[in-house]
Each structure stands twice: as C-alpha cells, then as structure tokens.
C-alpha cells in the first residue's frame, strides 16, 4: 500500500470513527454524511496522488530509456564510422562509403528510437496521471453524493 492508499484508509477510518461517535449521541444520520464526505475526499486525494506518482515514474522511465537509446545509437554509429574511415585509409572506398552510411544510419535510428521512447513515456505518464485525477474526482463525487442521499458508504475489503 502506497502513500495514496494509506491516506484513503486513514480518512476512511477517521470517517468511521466520527460516524460511530455521532451514533452514540443519537446523530447517526449526520455522522454517516460526514463519514461519506471525509472518506470520499480522502479516497479521491489518494487516487490522485497515486496517479501522480505512477505517471511521473512512467515519464522518468521513458526518458531514461530514450536517453540510453540515443547514446547507444550514437556510440554504435561512431564505431561504424570508425570502421569506414579505417577501410578508407586502407584504400577501400566502397567499404569507406558503406561504413559512413551504416554509421549515420545507426545514429539516426538511435536518436529516433530514443525520442520515441521519451515521447511514449511522457504520453503514458500523462495518461496515468489523468486517470488518477479522474478517479479521484469520481471518489470525491461519490462521497458527497452519499452524504446528500444519506446512504452509508460501501465498505471495501480493506475496511476491517
């Protein structure tokens, strides 16, 4: 359970405690409403935080992978260029041209793959963040909706 799950669980327990205490003094309906709002807001905040963390992680992983691919492609291209130059110095002009072509091609593939990985990681991260925010707002809305209707919140399997 991460930080987001911990926040959600803690606010749920806080809301349950308030509902229980309100029931002791004869205000169970009011306590249920407060519990729903507190639990919904906590769960929403937890979902948003989880989405943010997961999204940022995907952005960083994609960027790291992309940078690695760029360096790998450029390094491989330099090796191919060196081989071509060596063959050219030995008088083999066709090997020189082939080495130059392969070196530039390898560099281009490395840069292209690297940029693709960075963009893919960023897009995946933003999508995950968006899902977390939407899920968070949905949970907050459910909490307020349950408070207005007066229906108790549904217990999930983590509530003991």
| Every domain of the chain and the residues it spans | 3-149
Contact status, residue 42 vs residue 11, Cβ threshold 8 Å: yes
Contact status, residue 143 vs residue 37, Cβ threshold 8 Å: yes
Nearest to 66, CA basis, from 122, 117, 125, 120 = 117
How would you write 100-132 as a 3-class SS string?
HHHHHHHHHHHHHHHHHHHHHHHHHHHHHHHHH
Nearest to 65, CA basis, from 110, 126, 10, 31 = 110
C-alpha 66/C-alpha 110 separation (Å) is 9
Q: What angle do CA 103, 109, 111 make, to 5 degrees?
A: 100
C-alpha 83/C-alpha 113 separation (Å) is 23
CA atoms within 13 A on the CB side of 103: 16
Look over the chain and give the mean of its residue pLDDT values, rounded to a whole number.
81
Tens place of pLDDT per residue across the chain (160 aa): 677 777 778 877 877 887 788 777 777 778 788 878 888 888 888 888 888 888 888 888 888 888 888 888 888 888 888 888 887 888 778 888 888 888 888 888 888 888 888 888 888 888 888 888 888 888 888 888 877 777 666 655 444 4
Instruction: Tell me the pTM.
Output: 0.63
C-alpha 99/C-alpha 80 separation (Å) is 5
């Amino acid at each position: 359970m991460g930080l987001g799950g911990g926040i959600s669980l803690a606010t749920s327990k806080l809301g349950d405690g308030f509902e229980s205490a309100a029931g002791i003094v004869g205000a169970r309906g009011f306590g249920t409403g407060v519990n729903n709002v507190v639990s919904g807001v906590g769960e929403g905040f937890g979902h948003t935080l989880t989405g943010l963390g997961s999204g940022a992680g995907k952005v960083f992983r994609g960027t790291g992978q992309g940078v690695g691919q760029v360096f790998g492609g450029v390094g491989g291209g330099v090796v191919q260029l060196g081989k071509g130059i060596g063959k050219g110095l030995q008088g083999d002009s066709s090997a020189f041209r082939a080495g130059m072509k392969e070196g530039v091609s390898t560099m281009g593939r490395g840069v292209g793959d690297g940029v693709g990985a960075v963009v893919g990681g960023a897009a995946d991260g933003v999508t995950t963040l968006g899902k977390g925010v939407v899920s968070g707002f949905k949970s907050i809305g459910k909490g307020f909706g349950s408070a207005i209707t007066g229906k108790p919140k549904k217990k999930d399997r983590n509530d003991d």
